[in-house]
């Protein structure tokens, strides 16, 4: 009786493993056919989009204001440093310089974060409208991908 139970267990386990294997192959086949259909319907179409992120940041509305504000902050910081550091020792000057640099970095981040968010939102919007699974920076791509930089620039212009 014990031998029969063991043989049944072995058969059940074997059938279960075989069923999982077959279902896995079926799923992989479906995924591969869906990716090949994207490329076959339009050779320029791709599940991967590319953008020139630097170009997008140069075209985002508000970048000129942010650059002007940053230039002014750098000038103000330099004047402040020059005035306050006249009579300081080198160690104190170095410490003050680090503080000023930290303040300028914080200011730059404060100015750029909302602009980066606008760019990323526009990239997401264009990517979804074109049915792209991924959008990456053009500098990281060796071959392929659908360049959507101009579409994102146009979307940014509409965001004004």
Lowest average pLDDT, out of 10-14, 46-50, 58-62, 99-103, goes to: 10-14
Taking domain 42-159, whether its CATH number is 3.40.50.1370 is answered by no
What is the enclosing helix (H) or strand (E) of 84? helix 63-84
Put simply, whether the predicted model's pTM sits higher than 0.75 gets the answer no
Placement of tokens 């319907």 in the chain: 41
**Would you kindly state where each structural domain of the chain is located, as residue ranges?**
1-41, 42-159
Q: Cα-flanking dihedrals φ and ψ of residue 95, to 5°?
A: -65, -45
Is the CA virtual torsion 130, 132, 134, 136 positive or negative?
negative
Q: What's the mean pLDDT when you consider all of the chain?
A: 81
Q: What digits encode the pLDDT tens for the residues 113-126?
A: 999 999 999 999 99
Q: How confident is the model at residue 38 (pLDDT cuts 50, 70, 90)?
A: very low
Residue 100: CB atoms within 10 Å:
18
Question: Quick one: DSSP state of residue 146?
Answer: E
Does 142 score more than 80 pLDDT?
Answer: yes
Contact status, residue 32 vs residue 129, Cβ threshold 8 Å: no
Task: Map 85-104 to HEC letters.
Answer: CCCCCHHHHHHHHHHHHHHH
Q: What is the pLDDT of residue 34?
A: 53
Q: Which residue has the higher pLDDT, 26 or 66?
A: 66
């Amino acid at each position: 009786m014990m031998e029969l139970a063991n043989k049944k267990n072995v058969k059940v386990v074997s059938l279960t493993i075989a069923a999982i294997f077959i279902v896995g192959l079926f799923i992989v086949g479906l995924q591969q056919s869906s990716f090949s259909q994207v490329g076959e319907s339009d050779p320029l179409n791709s599940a991967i989009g590319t953008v020139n992120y630097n170009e997008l940041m140069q075209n985002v509305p508000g970048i000129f204001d942010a650059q002007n504000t940053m230039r002014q902050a750098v000038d103000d910081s330099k004047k402040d440093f020059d005035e306050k550091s006249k009579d300081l020792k080198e160690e104190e000057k170095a410490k003050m310089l680090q503080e000023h640099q930290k303040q300028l970095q914080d200011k730059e981040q404060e100015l750029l974060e909302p602009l980066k968010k606008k760019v990323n939102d526009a990239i997401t919007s264009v990517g979804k409208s074109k049915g792209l699974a991924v959008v990456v920076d053009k500098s990281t791509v060796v071959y392929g991908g659908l360049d959507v930089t101009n579409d994102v620039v146009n979307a940014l212009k509409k965001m004004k």
